[in-house]
Structure 1
Amino acid sequence: MASTNTINLSDQAYQFIKTKIMNLDYAPGAKISTTSISEASSLGKTPVREALLRLSQEQLVNMVPQSGAYVAKINLKIAQESRFTRELIETEIMQQAAATIQATDIDWLNQNLKAQTAALQQKNLSRFFELDNAFHRYFYVMTNHDLSWNWLELININLDRFRRLRIENNHLKWQPLIDQHQTLLTAVINHDLTDVRFHELMHIRLMLAEEDSVQQAFPTYFV
């Protein structure tokens, strides 16, 4: 039976590698070695190997016999299906939020938007992405659907990686994302269900409009 310490080290290695992949420090298609990860993370090779195995089960890493571990490329078909699933769920979540939002929720969401703007000004892409996710997650938690968010996170790996690339794309601006967040929040605060649905769909369907631009900017990152 594995010790608690071994499990904790494996979890640390898993979080380290996954964060590197999601933040594009390890680019799609790149080869990653157990030794280099072990040195970079200050963790042993055994927990690193265990973490790579776990990430391969989540299709973030490809283990190639006699060759090594490679960061999986982004599967655009899966990303598209994930976006479609999230659209169906999140439009309902946002309408529920419009019926239940409180002053404390508005304060938190406004602070999040201010932090998004600060990240934009500082050109801190990883922080912006983190805040973007936190903004959306808040509505799920607020409406008691945090389990739905957790489930979506499991199937949204390819979509989230696409979204992360989107903010790396120099041809696409960040400000429209913040503007859409603000417009959506305003509609929720006003309890305007028609506007909520319209602006949520506009936001969640942004991928459809920007897909070609992202692919052209990073042609080797997709399968």
Structure 2
Amino acid sequence: MLTAPRAPGPRARRVPVLDLPPRDGAESGRAWAYRVLRRDLILLRLEPGSAVSEAEVADAFRLSRTPVREAFIRLAEDGLLDVVPQTGTFVSRIDRARADEARFLRAVLEKAVLREAARAFPGSLRLELDANLAMQRHCRKGRQYDRLLELDDDFHGLLFRGVGKERLWLHLKRFDADLDRLRALQLSDAVHWDAVIEEHARIARRVGGGRTAGIDALVDRHLTAAVHDRLVARHPGFFKA
């Protein structure tokens, strides 16, 4: 059941859907709308608190309203949309408590995954990790931060895939939407990305070298980024009270 928070004020700003990627071959309209909208919600292209119109989204995608409505329902289940009866649909505000829960769960799982990966990891996927890191450095130089966030996700997904836990990663991604949005906000400048890429390189070296020493501390440092007061002060409308 969808929960109904207090409706945002009448001036809630509508944000258009931008930069529609092509639909994958056999991808359904619902899956396409969900994939693109979720990306834009995570990257904060659709800002927390903004109104989202089912009809306008359907027009933008050139889809009927049924697949868009189904995508909205799934996004609401992910905690990314708030459906307010008789009022409308709004981008949910970031819930720091949910983000902390997701960070805790991810840290527990990633420590276990990295220990397994250090014991045995497919050579082909190790090459993919290296290629991913090279692309991260390239995008960092070009200040392509949206792409860096996607590569960050892909990097961690490769680790789970390498130990046969890809489905677990996919389930985890349904749970950590608030953490992802918080990271998107925190990692919107070059200084933070330099540290993140270096931590990724250390993770890859441990996997390649079969070393488990220091994994717990590395994962904790990588995933534990406190919410600074200045971040909330700069974007007060993005966070739940």
Q: If the length of structure 1 is used for normalisation, what is the TM-score?
A: 0.87
Query: Are 1:57 and 2:77 an aligned pair?
Result: yes
Aligned partner (choices 221, 231, 234) of residue 202 of structure 1: 221
- The 8 Å contact of residues 122 and 162 in structure 2, kept in 1 or not, is answered as no
Query: Are 1:176 and 2:195 an aligned pair?
Result: yes
Q: Higher helix proportion, which one?
A: 1
Gaps of 5+ in 2: 1-26
**Partner Cα distance (1:103, 1:45) in 2:** 45
Q: Which residue of 1 aligns with 2:128?
A: 108
Return 37-46 or 92-101, whichever deviates more. Answer: 37-46
Return 97-106 or 159-168, whichever deviates more. Answer: 97-106
- In structure 2, what residue type is equivalent to 1:65? P
**Partner Cα distance (1:84, 1:9) in 2:** 34
Deviation string for 1:18-39 (max 9, x for gaps)?
A: 2221221211110111232122
- The 8 Å contact of residues 94 and 197 in structure 1, kept in 2 or not, is answered as no
- In structure 2, what residue type is equivalent to 1:114? A
- In structure 2, what residue type is equivalent to 1:151? H
Moved over 6 A (4+): none
Q: Which residue of 1 aligns with 2:113?
A: 93
State the shift of 1:102 in Å.
4.4
Do the aligned partners of residues 102 and 54 (structure 1) sit closer, same or farther apart at CA in structure 2, a change above 3 Å counting? Answer: closer
Do the aligned partners of residues 171 and 188 (structure 1) sit closer, same or farther apart at CA in structure 2, a change above 3 Å counting? Answer: closer
State the shift of 1:172 in Å.
4.8
**Partner Cα distance (2:203, 2:28) in 1:** 40
Return 53-62 or 68-77, whichever deviates more. Answer: 53-62
State the shift of 1:211 in Å.
4.3
Aligned partner (choices 102, 107, 126) of residue 82 of structure 1: 102
Aligned partner (choices 127, 146, 156) of residue 147 of structure 2: 127
- In structure 2, what residue type is equivalent to 1:53? I
Q: How many residues align?
A: 214
Deviation string for 1:84-140 (max 9, x for gaps)?
A: 111111111101111113443332211100001111122222211111011111111
- The 8 Å contact of residues 30 and 71 in structure 2, kept in 1 or not, is answered as yes
State the shift of 1:212 in Å.
3.7
Q: Which residue of 2 aligns with 1:191?
A: 210
State the shift of 1:175 in Å.
1.0
- In structure 2, what residue type is equivalent to 1:200? V
- In structure 2, what residue type is equivalent to 1:220? G
**Partner Cα distance (2:77, 2:219) in 1:** 32
RMSD (Å) for aligned C-alpha atoms:
2.0
State the shift of 1:189 in Å.
2.1
State the shift of 1:156 in Å.
1.0
Return 184-193 or 29-38, whichever deviates more. Answer: 184-193
Q: Which residue of 1 aligns with 2:186?
A: 166
Matches within 5 A, 1:32-43: 32-43=52-63
SS at match of 1:173: helix
Gaps of 5+ in 1: 1-6
Q: Which residue of 2 aligns with 1:215?
A: 232
**Partner Cα distance (1:192, 1:32) in 2:** 47
Q: If the length of structure 2 is used for normalisation, what is the TM-score?
A: 0.81
SS at match of 1:73: coil
Q: Which residue of 1 aligns with 2:5?
A: none
- The 8 Å contact of residues 78 and 175 in structure 2, kept in 1 or not, is answered as no
